[in-house]
Structure 1
Amino acid sequence: MLNDIRQDLATYGGDWGAQGFWVMLVYRFGRWRYTIGNPIIRKPFSLLYHVLYKGAQILTGIELPCEVPVGKGFRIDHFGDIIISGYASFGDNCVIRNGVTVGLKNIEEKAAPAIGSNVSIGAGAKILGRITIGNNVDIGANAVVLQSVPDNSLAVGIPARILPKEKTPTGLSL
């Protein structure tokens, strides 16, 4: 857990005051408590986690349940209005901005997006349902993504249109 927290702090550039870092601290504690084998000993840690989780949710406006697998370099870039379903998953080096929802498309189907590595999610984006977001994908601000997005793509608009990333003469993606 401590190694993960050090990596999270490095992801936030050493800024202990970043609300996203606070959420990651609570998240890491919540994941760690599952490593306690004895359920009687784990119960007080679970109670503490739930209090910390609700406190972080109130203070930051960010909901990241500890059941969500996240990769290294996961970053919540802005304060507030971020909701992530416990059924979602994230690869390495993902960035989420304010107003993002990653969750269920409908309440009957308990399935949320599986998001790959190196994914940037713009402010206000909604990514919903049993879909896969590939690696090296950019989701535009306010996009509503209801279908899977292949690697090296852009998703923009409502509903999202999927576009391939174009290469510039220097080889950088646009």
Structure 2
Amino acid sequence: MGIFKRMKEDMDTVFEQDPAARSYTEVLLTYSGLHAIWAHRLSHFFFKRRLFFIARAISQVSRFFTGIEIHPGAIIGRKFFIDHGMGVVVGETCEIGDNVTIFQGVTLGGTGKEKGKRHPTIKDNAMITTGAKVLGNITIGSSSKVGAGSIVLKDVPDYSTVVGVPGRVVIQNGEKVKKNLDHQKLPDPVADRCDRLQEEIDVLREEIAKLKEVKQNDNHHL
């Protein structure tokens, strides 16, 4: 597909995804997500030719103007749509399929513990909503959705919806997964820390009681 046809397809994708889009002129001049995608295509062109400095320079200029950071090494398919976009981060080894939508504040990043392929793979037709963090060499399945604010650290099957911290599948193949809907069982780090402190206090109390008992016995012998 030629460059101008691809650009036209990108703008048509905006109209398909965003009911607020009114004209091609508006989309062309004011949609930062679209500008970031076009800049990425250019930076990726240089990245594949091992012109890394030029690729990163283009990426950083795009980040400055759009608030969206896409590493030049990321592989992105057709009809990719970034809605609003501010704060979006896409890592170097990300692979994004066709017709994928992500919203503002989304991070497709690494965990800091991996080498090589260390960022997510997002399959066709997936949607990653506002503020979600998808971390590590994991796969978000085709036509799956990640709920707002979720942190996903494990693979998500096709046709699934995942929510929460950490992310849990709540819908799969159109059916609710009831065992994952108990939000009261979501991790609470503050409560966990308080429980550990209480356990340590209980142990100290037992040790103090034993020391007092030993001291009293010694006093009796005296």
User: Which residue does the alignment assign to 1:172?
Assistant: none
- Bigger drift between 157-166 and 91-100 goes to 157-166
> Could you list the runs of 5+ residues in structure 1 that have no partner in the other structure?
168-174
User: Given that residues 47 and 73 in structure 2 are in contact (C-alpha distance below 8 angstroms), is that contact kept between their aligned partners in structure 1?
Assistant: no
- The 1:162–1:108 alpha-carbon spacing in structure 2 relative to 1, beyond 3 Å, is same
Distance 2:6 2:167 in 1: 34
What TM-score results when the alignment is normalised by the length of structure 1? Answer: 0.82
- The 1:7–1:62 alpha-carbon spacing in structure 2 relative to 1, beyond 3 Å, is same
Percent identity, aligned pairs only? 30
Is 1:75 matched up with 2:81?
yes
- The 1:125–1:25 alpha-carbon spacing in structure 2 relative to 1, beyond 3 Å, is same
**Structure number with larger C-alpha Rg:** 2
Is 1:26 matched up with 2:39?
yes
Q: CA deviation at 1:151?
A: 0.4
- What amino acid does structure 2 have at the position aligned with 1:133? I
Q: Decide which of 126, 150, 157 is 2:157's aligned counterpart.
A: 150
User: Which residue does the alignment assign to 1:122?
Assistant: 129
Deviation per CA, 1:3-47: give whole Å up to 9, x if none: 3222212222331110001111211212334677xx8xxx6x963
What TM-score results when the alignment is normalised by the length of structure 2? Answer: 0.65
- Say which SS state the counterpart of residue 31 (structure 1) adopts: helix
User: Given that residues 114 and 136 in structure 2 are in contact (C-alpha distance below 8 angstroms), is that contact kept between their aligned partners in structure 1?
Assistant: no
Determine which structure has greater relative contact order: mean sequence separation of CA pairs < 8 Å that are 6+ residues apart, divided by chain length: 1
User: Which residue does the alignment assign to 2:174?
Assistant: 166
User: Given that residues 84 and 101 in structure 1 are in contact (C-alpha distance below 8 angstroms), is that contact kept between their aligned partners in structure 2?
Assistant: yes
Is 1:91 matched up with 2:93?
no
User: Which residue does the alignment assign to 1:141?
Assistant: 148
Distance 1:108 1:70 in 2: 21
Distance 1:129 1:109 in 2: 10
Deviation per CA, 1:109-137: give whole Å up to 9, x if none: 34111110111111000000111111010
- The 1:35–1:150 alpha-carbon spacing in structure 2 relative to 1, beyond 3 Å, is closer
Q: Decide which of 111, 119, 131 is 1:105's aligned counterpart.
A: 111
Q: CA deviation at 1:108?
A: 4.1
User: Given that residues 123 and 141 in structure 1 are in contact (C-alpha distance below 8 angstroms), is that contact kept between their aligned partners in structure 2?
Assistant: yes
Deviation per CA, 1:130-165: give whole Å up to 9, x if none: 111110101000000000000010010000111314
- How many residue pairs align between the two structures? 160
Q: CA deviation at 1:57?
A: 0.3
- The 1:142–1:67 alpha-carbon spacing in structure 2 relative to 1, beyond 3 Å, is same
Distance 1:81 1:105 in 2: 18
Distance 1:159 1:35 in 2: 35
